[in-house]
Structure 1
Amino acid sequence: MSGETGMDRTVGYLVHDLNDAAVERRVGLFVEGGARVRIGGFRRRALPDTVGAADCVIDLGVTRDMRLVQRIGAIMANLAKPADARRVVVGADVIVARNLEMLAIAVRIRKPEQRLVYECLDLHRLLLSDGTAGKLLRKIERRLLADVAMIVTSSPAYIEKYFHSVQGYRKPILLVENKVPRDASKALPAVRPAHGHPWQIGWFGIIRCRKSLMILASFAAASAGRVEVLIAGRPNLTEIPDFDAIVAASPGLRFTGPYRLEQLPSLYASVDFAWAVDFYEEGLNSKWLLPNRLYESLAAGVPPLALCAVEVGRWLDRTRVGRTFNDLEAEVMPFLMGLEPTAYASMREAVAALPAEKTRFVQGESLRIVSTLLGTTGMENGA
């Protein structure tokens, strides 16, 4: 690895899932910021030929959703025989490890002079558990954090409620929200007729919240055809094994399957509201996260629906867009049934008036982020 003045801005990126569309987006952000990216990691499906504009893709094995023991086995195999993982980071100016399992591998393989950044965008429920396993996992994370120069995370609540208050981490933390790329389509939904069409709610992305599915099904069933729900993405069949049966038995629910990132604008163009509610790991990670769909929907011009008592709702209330609720089952249907077209148009206007930097990366932002990861900006003041 070269010194600061001779850096070629190479990022060795270790990821938990090479098939994750959010990983591809992150690679795009790094490349736009002037970095060369080598990526390696686990995968849940077939190995992709490319991940964005990464120079190479290195396979570290297959892992499965919700199979913690199997994932630990894959990690241990790479710790015992780290040759493939070393190919990802050899000569890199900075190693970015996405999620805790990749941090363990990164600490094992990095050279003393290599800068290490921990990217944590989700907190596993065990990290928030008061049980023996949770305490052990937090202890392991604290040990690994000793080698970390900086954390990257996506929500202020993760910083305040976990890394500062629980883990006592006092080194720099960089907040990088899950915004859409600078060049993402700005296409807004088609203008709706003033009367006579059902309100369309879109739920896109990783579909892992059974409670949300049942609530949305109840809305559609109770609306007498005045509310419809469009679902697209990848359902987590471990969490919702009867997903297909529920959708098939629920008039007003429609599932169109997985989508490519470039299809998102057209999906959002077909709905009036975005479902930004997630009860997955309720009371734990779900109350702190700021998910991709928050930024994706707003960038496409669609007002989100959310709970007011979680970080998503607080974000929406601060920016005065979308609609938040205390009690979804008691409040959402009366809101929709009483919503006039002029009031909805005002909601759309508020979304359209949001500054671009609230929902998408803007000119120069990727360069600042990459320079901060490399430690070349002097931005070492923490968060």
Structure 2
Amino acid sequence: MTLHVLYLVHDLADPAVRRRVLMLSAGGARVTLAGFRRGDNALAAVEGLRPIELGVTADGRFAQRLGAVGKACLSISRELRDVARPDVIIARNLEMLAVANRAVTAFGGRVPIVYESLDIHRLLLRGDLVGRMLRGAEARLGQKAKLLITSSPAFVENYFRPLSGLDLPVLLLQNQVLALGEEADAPAPVRQRRKGDPWRIGWFGALRCSRSLAMLSALSRAMGGRVEIVLRGRPARSELKDFDNVVAAEPHMTFRGPYRNPEDLPAIYAGVDYVWTIDFFEEGQNSNWLLPNRLYEGCRHGAVPIALAGTETARFLEDRKIGLVLPDADGSRLQELFEGMDEESYRHAFETVAKQHPSLWSVRRDDCEALVRRLATLSTNADGAASVAVAGSPTYRDQGGLS
């Protein structure tokens, strides 16, 4: 029997949501997608799938999002009336965990919930009453969950195990590139640079860090055109005020709009030499712990990553002796790095990245199948027996429990 997954998401336009749906489908699951539209963002297109919209939310407006979630909880039975009972419900982020609990009731109970948390919101980390209340809500809502999916071991080490109050087995799914065909084993493309070309740094994906924008702007100006900055993705305009005018005023910086993941990745990374993996948006917390999409995307396609010392990304790179790690966030250090950059040092940095096995950066079809098999083990009928056949054993990285 084909596993039926109801995927409840906070932002239907999030490219990472599209990637997860593609991954589940490639693994053999049937996916029903439901969630919120984030403002005017166009929905991330997934061929053959029409999502169920539960409402509209606004970026950066937490109170508004809570109201929208409350309304969705009240209307979820009606919204899902034409949906067959799923075998598993995946709830992406805390607000969707609340909706998932109501959905289980709507389906008559006994549908296992998977809590997918790929970022730790700063409100959850506060030491005051607000933080304690949110962590308490997460622990209560997570009582019906059977599995936690997260993307970085540092999230487990720094939040889920010591602070969250959850007691769940953990499945680590890193933000790797989806590679379902022959490209999965292809080596990183050889770089062809013309002598004298400017160094190009790509900052791609969710653009939300004003300090990164300022550092990259200052670098490009200080280098007088010897370094160019290319931006691609979805800018968080609630965080990057007047983004379009700011970028337009920079002589060596361009914004080239959104892209499809994974289809457009080879082309966009072919146009840059380095990938910016630094994030100060929630400095000292989520930003220090995450392993971002752009790390895997850039390395898979031959771009040399730039990270900041003391972060999980830097630890990842240092363990493998690849990439460039800035000792601190002083912009002068970044300028010094590129003042001393030459073709030989770049070639060495590129080759150390290119020598890594493609499987380090990619999710393959067999990984997708292993994920679906792992989810199938959670699905039980009224007698407690598996309702979906499980073939083989999962090859994904089960991390044990939180306790």
**Shorter-chain TM-score range:** over 0.9
**Equivalent residues of 1:190, 1:270 under 8 A apart:** no
How big is the alpha-carbon RMSD for the aligned residues of Structure 1 and Structure 2?
Answer: 2.1
Match of 1:4 in 2: none
Aligned to 1:60: 54
**Is residue 304 of structure 1 aligned with residue 305 of structure 2?**
yes
Q: Scaled by the length of structure 1, what TM-score is found?
A: 0.92
Between stretches 23-32 and 252-261, larger displacement belongs to 252-261
Question: Contact 2:12 / 2:44 at 8 angstroms: preserved in 1?
Answer: no
Distance, in Å, in 2 between the alignment partners of 1:91 and 1:164 is 32
> Offset of 1:50 from its aligned partner?
7.5
Shift of 1:87: 4.4
In 1, distance between residues paired with 2:75 and 2:54?
A: 10
Say which of 160, 163, 184 aligns to 1:163. Answer: 160
Counterpart in 1 of 2:201? Answer: 201
1:32 aligned partner: 26
Paired with 2:206 and 2:190, the residues of 1 have a C-alpha distance of 22
Contact 2:135/2:165 (<8 A) preserved: no
Amino acid at match of 1:298: C
Aligned residue in 2 for 1:314? 315
- SS of 2:359's equivalent in the other structure is helix
Q: How does 1:263-278 map to 2 (within 5 A)?
A: 263-278=264-279
Structure 2 distance, partners of 1:310, 1:88, is 46
1:266-345 mapped onto 2 (5 Å cutoff): 266-328=267-329, 329-345=331-347
Q: Structure 1 residues 50, 90: closer, same or farther in 2, change over 3 A?
A: farther
Report the count of equivalent residues. 376
- Tell me the SS of whatever aligns to 2:133: helix
Separation in 1, partners of 2:368, 2:260 = 23
| Alignment pair present for 1:217 and 2:248 | no
Q: Which residue of 2 aligns with 1:348?
A: 350
The 3-state SS of whatever aligns with 2:363 is: coil
Q: Distance in 2 between matches of 1:47 and 1:318?
A: 38
Deviation of 1:84 after TM superposition, in Å, equals 4.4
Q: Any conservation in 1 of the 2:39–2:59 contact (CA below 8 Å)? A: no
Alpha-carbon distance, 1:56 to partner: 3.8
1:369 maps to which of 354, 371, 383: 371
315-324 or 243-252, which moves further after superposition?
243-252
Deviation at 1:285, TM superposition (A): 1.0
Query: Counterparts of 1:138 and 1:341 in 2: how far apart (Å)?
Result: 50
Moved more, 220-229 or 247-256: 247-256
Which stretches of structure 1, 4 residues or more, deviate above 6 A after TM superposition?
A: 47-50
**3-state SS of 2:80 partner:** helix
| 1:86/1:237 CA distance change after superposition, 3 Å | same
The amino acid across from 2:246 in the alignment is I
Matched letter for residue 129 of structure 1? R
Highest RCO, 1 vs 2 (Cα 8 Å, sep ≥ 6): 2
Instruction: Give 1:176's aligned residue.
Output: 173
Specify the alignment match of 2:381 in structure 1.
none
TM-score, normalisation: structure 2: 0.88
Following the alignment from structure 2 to structure 1, what is the Cα–Cα distance between the partners of residues 84 and 159? 32
Q: Can you list the C-alpha shifts for 1:315-352, whole angstroms capped at 9, x where unaligned?
A: 11112221111124232222212122122111111111
Which deviations, in whole Å up to 9, do the C-alpha atoms of 1:85-144 show, x marking residues without a partner? 534864111100111111101011214321110000111110111122111110000101
Percentage of identical aligned residues: 41
Aligned to 2:401: 382
Q: Which residue of 2 aligns with 1:152?
A: 149
